[in-house]
C-alpha cells in the first residue's frame, strides 16, 4: 500500500500505532474486568469493511466477538422487491438504480440479467440523476428503484419534494434501521451485549434516536465512525458500559453525528415517507422498518402508478441454502455457508451478501475467508 509522504504518521490518527495500541490495551483491560465473553453487533456495512480491511478482529481480545448485523440495505432488500424492479424493466420502462443493486439476484433474475436480455436498466449514482433521465426522456416512464437507509432516503425525498417530471416515479425499497435493531435485539439466539450503531445513518437521524432503544432493550449502544481507530474507540466505550452493567448511549462519532441529526433532511424524509412492515431478506418480518411513499406523494409511487405484475419464477434452488439471514442476524459467519466461495462468488452471487462491496460474504472472501489477518 502506498504511503502518504506528505502527512506524517502522527497526523493519521488511526494509523497511529501508539493510539491503536493504547486502545487495544484498554480493550484487554476492560475484558479482564468483565471476566466473561462479550458479543457486540455492528449494524453497518462500512463497519464490517473497516474491521475486515484493517484486520481488526485479529487484534481484538479473544473473547470479544464482533458480529455483523443487518447493516447493508442492499443485502436486506427482499427478493420480491428486486422482482418488482425487474418486472417494470421487462415491460419496457426505464429502471434506474444504484450500482450496488444492479446485480442483486431476485427470485429469478437480477436487473443486470434483465439488461442483458434487452431491458433498459441504467445505473445512477443519485436520485437526482434518475430524475434527470426522466427529463431527458419525456415519452418514457422512468422508475428509480430506491434502496438504502436514512442516508439515501433523505435524498430521494429531496428529489420528490422538488417537483420532478411527471414521468418519474419511485419504487421504494428504502429501509429504516432502528426497528431492525429492536428485532435483532429481541432474537433469543442472537445474544448481543451491545450495539455499535451505524454512523452514517445517524448523520441524518441523530443519535438521540437510540435513547429509547437503549432504555427499552436495556442494551448499550455507541455510535461509531468507520475508520479503524473510530471502531476501536467505540468498542472501548461499549465495553465500559457493559462492565458497568449500564444501558448507556454514547456518540463516538461527533465528527459526523449530532444528537438531533440533520433536521431539515429528517423533515423532508418524514414528509415523503411513511413506515410500513415488511420482510428484510432472510431476517424476519420487521415492523415499521420499510419506507413507503406517503399519501401526498402517492402519485410518484411506482406501485400505485403501475400494476406491477411480479411473476416469481422458480427460485434458484441454491438460494435455499443461502444463510445470509443468519449472518445478518449475527448467528453465523460466512464460512459456515456451504456455498461460500464455491457456488457463490462475487461474479456469480447466490445471495445479496456476496454482491455489495459491504456485504459480509464479499468482504470475507475478499480478505481471505475469516479476515483474521
Partner 1 sequence: MCLGIPGEIIEIDGQEARAEFWDVEKTVRIDVVDEAVEVGDHILNHAGFAIRKIPDEEVEETMEIYESFLEGDEDEALEEIGAGEGEQLGIEGR
Q: Which residues bind partner 1 (CB under 8 A)?
A: 1-7, 11-15, 44-46, 50, 53, 72-74, 98-100, 124-129, 147-149, 151-152, 154-155, 157-158, 162, 200-201, 203-204, 226-227, 255-256, 261-265, 268, 357-358
Which of 353, 363, 367, 371 touches ligand SF4 (CB under 6 A)? 353
- φ, ψ at 166 (rounded to 5°): -55, -35
Phi-psi region of 105 (alpha: psi -120 to 50; beta: other; left: phi over 0): beta
CB 44 within 8 A of CB 71: yes
Rounded-to-integer distance, Cα 51 and Cα 227, Å: 9
Q: Which of 85, 72, 200, 71 is nearest to 141 (CA)?
A: 85
Residue 329 as a binder of ligand SF4 (CB under 6 A): the answer is: no
Cα–Cα distance between 367 and 292 in angstroms, integer? Answer: 36
361 binds, among partner 1, ligand SF4, none (CB under 5 to 8 A by kind): ligand SF4
Could you tell me the smallest distance in angstroms from the CB atom of residue 268 to partner 1? 6
Residues touching ligand SF4: how many (CB under 6 A)?
24
- Choices 33-41, 50-58, 120-128, 354-362 (CB under 6 A): range interacting with ligand SF4: 354-362
Of 189-197, 204-212, 307-315, 331-339: span binding ligand SF4 (CB under 6 A): 331-339
State yes or no: residue 45 binds ligand SF4 (CB under 6 A): yes
**Minimum CB distance to partner 1, residue 278 (Å):** 19
Contact partners, residue 29, CB within 8 Å, separation at least 6: none
> Contacting ligand SF4 (CB under 6 A), which of 56, 157, 289, 339?
339
Rounded to whole angstroms, the Cα distance separating 330 from 328 reads: 5
> Which spans in 35-175 are helix H?
45-53, 56-59, 79-90, 111-116, 127-136, 150-161
Distance of closest approach, residue 232 Cβ to ligand SF4, in angstroms: 20
- Three-class SS of residue 59? helix
Q: Which is nearer to ligand SF4, 147 or 167 (CB)?
A: 147
- Give the whole-angstrom CA distance, residue 97 versus residue 298: 20
Q: Which does 325 bind (CB under 5 to 8 A by kind): partner 1, ligand SF4, none?
A: none
Task: Give 22 or 345: the residue with its C-beta nearer to ligand SF4.
Answer: 345
Q: Which is nearer to partner 1, 227 or 316 (CB)?
A: 227
In whole angstroms, give the CA distance from residue 43 to residue 231.
Answer: 12
- State how far the Cα of 169 lies from the Cα of 142, in Å rounded to an integer: 6
166's CB contacts (< 8 A; 6+ apart) are none
- Residues 68-127, interacting with ligand SF4 (CB under 6 A): 72-74, 100
- Contacted entry of partner 1, ligand SF4, none for residue 242, CB cut-off 5 to 8 Å set by kind: none
Residues 263 and 5: their CA atoms lie apart, in Å, by 39
| Smallest separation (angstroms) from partner 1 to the CB of 4 | 4
- Strand ranges in the chain using DSSP code E only, listed in sequence order: 38-42, 64-68, 94-98, 121-124, 142-148, 168-174, 194-198, 221-224, 249-251, 273-280, 284-293
Return the bridge partners of 249, or none: 221
142 binds ligand SF4 (CB under 6 A): no
Answer yes or no whether residue 202 interacts with ligand SF4 by CB under 6 A.
Answer: no
Among 95, 231, 252, 337, binds ligand SF4 (CB under 6 A): 337
State the residues that interact with ligand SF4 by CB under 6 A.
45, 72-74, 100, 148, 322-324, 327, 334, 337, 339-340, 344, 350-351, 353-354, 356-359, 361
Amino acid at each position: 500500500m502506498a504511503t502518504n509522504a506528505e502527512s506524517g504518521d502522527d497526523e493519521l490518527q488511526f494509523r497511529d500505532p501508539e493510539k491503536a495500541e493504547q486502545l487495544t490495551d484498554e480493550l484487554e483491560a476492560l475484558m479482564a474486568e468483565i471476566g466473561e465473553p462479550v458479543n457486540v453487533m455492528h449494524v453497518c456495512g462500512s463497519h464490517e469493511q473497516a474491521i475486515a480491511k484493517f484486520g481488526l478482529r485479529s487484534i481484538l481480545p479473544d473473547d470479544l466477538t464482533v458480529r455483523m448485523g443487518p447493516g447493508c440495505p442492499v443485502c436486506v432488500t427482499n427478493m420480491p422487491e428486486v422482482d418488482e424492479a425487474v418486472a417494470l424493466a421487462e415491460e419496457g420502462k426505464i429502471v434506474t438504480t444504484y450500482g450496488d443493486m444492479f446485480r442483486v439476484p431476485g427470485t429469478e433474475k437480477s436487473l443486470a440479467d434483465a439488461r442483458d436480455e434487452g431491458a433498459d436498466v441504467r445505473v445512477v449514482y443519485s436520485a437526482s440523476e434518475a430524475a434527470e433521465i426522466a427529463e431527458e426522456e419525456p415519452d418514457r416512464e422512468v422508475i428509480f428503484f430506491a434502496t438504502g437507509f436514512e442516508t439515501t432516503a433523505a435524498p430521494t425525498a429531496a428529489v420528490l419534494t422538488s417537483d420532478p417530471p411527471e414521468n418519474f416515479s419511485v419504487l421504494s425499497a428504502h429501509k429504516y434501521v432502528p426497528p431492525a435493531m429492536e428485532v435483532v435485539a429481541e432474537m433469543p439466539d442472537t445474544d448481543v451485549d451491545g450495539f455499535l450503531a451505524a454512523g452514517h445513518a445517524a448523520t441524518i437521524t441523530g443519535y438521540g434516536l437510540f435513547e429509547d432503544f437503549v432504555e427499552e432493550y436495556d442494551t448499550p449502544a455507541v455510535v461509531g465512525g468507520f475508520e479503524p481507530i473510530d471502531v476501536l474507540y467505540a468498542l472501548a466505550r461499549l465495553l465500559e458500559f457493559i462492565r458497568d452493567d449500564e444501558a448507556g448511549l454514547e456518540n463516538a462519532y461527533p465528527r459526523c453525528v449530532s444528537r438531533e441529526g440533520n433536521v431539515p433532511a429528517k423533515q423532508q424524509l418524514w414528509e415523503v415517507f411513511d413506515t410500513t412492515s415488511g420482510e428484510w431478506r432472510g431476517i424476519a418480518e420487521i415492523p415499521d422498518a420499510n419506507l413507503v411513499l406517503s399519501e401526498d406523494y402517492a402519485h410518484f409511487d411506482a406501485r400505485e402508478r403501475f400494476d406491477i405484475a411480479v411473476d416469481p419464477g422458480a427460485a434458484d434452488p441454491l438460494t435455499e441454502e443461502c444463510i445470509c439471514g443468519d449472518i445478518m442476524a449475527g448467528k453465523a459467519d460466512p464460512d459456515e455457508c456451504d456455498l461460500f466461495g464455491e457456488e457463490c462468488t462475487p461474479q456469480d452471487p447466490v445471495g445479496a451478501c456476496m454482491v455489495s462491496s459491504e456485504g459480509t460474504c464479499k468482504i470475507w472472501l475478499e480478505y481471505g475467508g475469516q479476515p483474521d489477518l
